[in-house]
Amino acid sequence: MKVTVSRKAQFNAAHRLYNPNWSFEKNDEVFGKCNNPNYHGHNYQLIVSVKGTIDPETGYVIDMKDLKALIKEHVEDVFDHRNLNLDTEDFKELNPTAENIAVVIWNKLRPHLKSELELKVVLYETERNFVEFEG
Ligand code: NI
């Protein structure tokens, strides 16, 4: 029997979506306002879910304190109030779309969880637009 536990978090960050190999016109066509050269911000909402069996001694799949601390250290402290393109190593070469941010977050958290636990990341860029990645 497996149970999923989830923790919500959020961070505010700026980004610009563009492909440096394309002309400004092509970037404008594909990314529209998200290609604004002076960046724009989002209030990203994150849901991190961990699925596994319940530890009979604790009754937990994972201690929420530990999950909270992992998200703070590896996501919030790295991305909150940052310009993703300019201030983070992760997006120096990688376009900071919601898809890519979700994958980066998953990769940051995965090594810190026991291998038998499954990890899923859901990232809302706006209230209506969100992406999911589970490895
Ligand atoms: Ni955007």
Q: Residues of the chain with pLDDT > 70: what percent? A: 100
Residue labelled with tokens 């909402």: 45
Q: What is the pLDDT of residues 54-97, one digit of tens each?
A: 999 999 999 999 999 999 999 999 999 999 999 999 999 999 99
Number of domains within the chain: 1
Helix (H/G/I), strand (E/B), else coil: 111: helix
pLDDT attached to residue 117: 98
pLDDT attached to residue 105: 98
Catalytic residues: 34, 81, 125
Report CA(56)–ligand 1 centroid distance (Å). 44
Q: Look over the chain and give the mean of its residue pLDDT values, rounded to a whole number.
A: 97
Q: Are 34 and 19 in contact (CB under 8 A)?
A: no
Report CA(41)–ligand 1 centroid distance (Å). 7
> Could you list the residue range(s) of the whole structural domain that residue 64 is in?
2-133
Distances from the Cα of 133 to the Cα of 13, 19, 99, 113, angstroms: 20, 22, 8, 16
Average pLDDT over residues 95-118: 98
pLDDT attached to residue 122: 98
Report CA(62)–ligand 1 centroid distance (Å). 33
**Residue 107: pLDDT band by 50, 70, 90 thresholds?**
very high
**Residue 103: pLDDT band by 50, 70, 90 thresholds?**
very high
Report CA(63)–ligand 1 centroid distance (Å). 33
| CATH code of the domain covering residue 39 | 3.30.479.10
